[in-house]
Amino acid sequence: MSSQLIKNNFRMDRLPHIWCPGCGHGIIMRSMAQAIQNLGLDKQKVCIVSGIGCSSRAPGYMDFNTLHTTHGRALAFATGVKLANPELKVIVVTGDGDCSAIGGNHLIHTARRNIDITTIVFNNNIYGMTGGQYSPTTPTNDFGTTAPFGNIDKAFDICKLVDGAGATYVARGTAYHVNQLTKIIEKAISNIGFSLVDAISICPTYYGRKNKKGTAVQMMNYLKDSAVDTKVAEKLPPEKLENKFFIGEFKNTTEPEYTEEYMKIIKKYQKER
């Protein structure tokens, strides 16, 4: 027994999933399914692609065309899928490590091309699957198994990174603010071009434990209390924004899309021959 949304969009024989109790990834995966259902997309025309990580297990549970690839390379595979069959809505599920560490180069160049792929980053600020190594989104001074005395790196803001690189839709949501996250994912999928949603997740098992963040509920409360909507933030004095992070839509523009440009070249030279 399960809700209609779950029955309609998941491989029931694969559930329950293996994520830890209170892992935010399950909340974000459900939100993705809700967004796809709200858009009324033909399931045969949706392809969900992932790399490697706890987050990247999501397509294994989702009842669509799915592709579970190699660590950091989801966007490269997704680019191939999209160019081979531009009719498909291609959605990439990735972790902060998968997309911004080992896959960082693919990320910036996929954004630069503005190819019609939607990337959902399940961002838990750590490498969950391999046991809590720090990632490019682990905040400075936080702990990980590879930063036992505190992380001295500065964290990436993945939204700013892909904005600068050329993505045309960029937004951030959280596992706490689920309805807003679903709306954002809908808009990201609807954008014709490269879209990225930085979906802030929680990893109570590794990030939480290493950094004494408490239970899953306490980590959800942190998301609730620390996320400020960009529209609200504009009106707040700087002291109200200390230790906060921003959610909402950062960019929504239209630029030439890569597969369309590619098809134009093919058509042009086919005519000339």
Partner 1 sequence: MDNRKADKKLKIVEEWCKGCNICVAFCPTNVLELRNNKVAIADIDKCTKCGLCELRCPDYAIYLEGSEDEK
Residues at the interface with partner 1 (CB under 8 A): 1-4, 6, 10, 15-17, 19-27, 30, 175-176, 178-179, 204, 215-217, 220-221
Q: Which stretch binds ligand TPP (CB under 6 A): 48-56, 140-148, 214-222, 230-238?
A: 48-56
What's CA 114's distance to the chain center, in Å? Answer: 16
For residue 221, count CB atoms less than 10 angstroms from its CB and return exposed for 0-12, middle for 13-18, buried for 19 or more: middle
Question: Minimal distance in Å, beta carbon 198 to ligand SF4?
Answer: 16
Could you say which of partner 1, ligand TPP, ligand SF4, none residue 217 binds, taking C-beta under 5 to 8 angstroms by partner kind?
partner 1
- 206, 210, 227, 257: which one binds ligand SF4 (CB under 6 A): 206
* Site string (123-162) toward ligand TPP, x via CB under 6 A: -x-xxxxx----x---------------------------
Give the whole-angstrom CA distance, residue 151 versus residue 141.
5
SS3 content of the chain, % helix, strand, coil (to 5): 45, 20, 35
Which one, 74 or 189, has the nearer CB to ligand SF4? 74
**Which DSSP letter does residue 248 get?**
E
**CB distance 250 to 183 below 8 Å:** no
Under the binding rule (CB under 6 A), the answer on residue 203 touching ligand SF4 is yes
Closest CA to 24 of 199, 156, 170: 199
Give the shortest CB-24-to-partner 1 separation in angstroms: 7
